[in-house]
Amino acid sequence: MSAPRVVVTGAAAGIGRSTALLFARRGYRVGAFDIDEAGLISLAGESAPITAGQLVTGVLDVTDADAWTRALAGFCGDGGLDILVNNAGLLSSGPFEEIPASRHRQIVDVNVTGVVLGCHAAFPYLRDTPGAQIVNMCSASALYGQPDLATYSATKFAVRGLTEALELEWAQHDITVTAMWPLFVDTHMVDGMDIGARRSLGVNLGADDVARAVLDATRPGRRSGRVHRPVGRQATVLSALAQISPGWANRLVNRRLTGR
């Protein structure tokens, strides 16, 4: 039997890079895509001793629908797709009004439009693959709107809603849709970040931790019915509290954590 196929976006660095390498080392055939061509070259060099052809890299702008079509056609051919990991994302921190409008729009384009286009383009391949799965990289910032991460937080609320809707809508096609919910992860996205939530909570997850959680969530035969999967102890606790606490309590907790 041929190896199951996985597409990972944002694969040149951070969580995407760790996820692509982990899946390839576990015997999956991985399509690792990113807009960062230099990072992809570095990734390909790091992939030894993975079997030749096990990890395939390609440049992809996730905000370009035609680019999605070409990338998936090139990787999947006339076959199916077992797992799509929508990981590509952007983040800027600081007061909302101090971040340029062009950057706000870029964050929305990558974090929301990129996920929508990825799901849309991948659907025919997922539909034709028994037990196919989508993993959307969400964030604990989608539990309650986060000051100093306002637009990023809003995009993750959008990813949350899309995940919930498609999980219901595509069940008829045997496609499982899951959202991963990490807190701050030790990648370049948090370099130089000095906001209240980061100071309060610290950075307690590495990219490999999230990659292992993605692998665990998608392992064959695992159908837990869980749409949202917190990653790490902190996210698990905050997620549980958010589900049982009234709105005023969630607001108070977030004010305390963020220093607002």
Q: Which positions are catalytic?
A: 152
Q: 99, 151 in Cβ contact below 8 A?
A: yes
Distance CA 24, CA 6 (A): 9
Distance CA 196, CA 112 (A): 25
- β-pairing, 176-182 with 205-206? unpaired
Q: What angle, 0 to 180 degrees and rounded to 10, lies between the N-to-C axes of helices 150-169 and 114-127?
A: 20
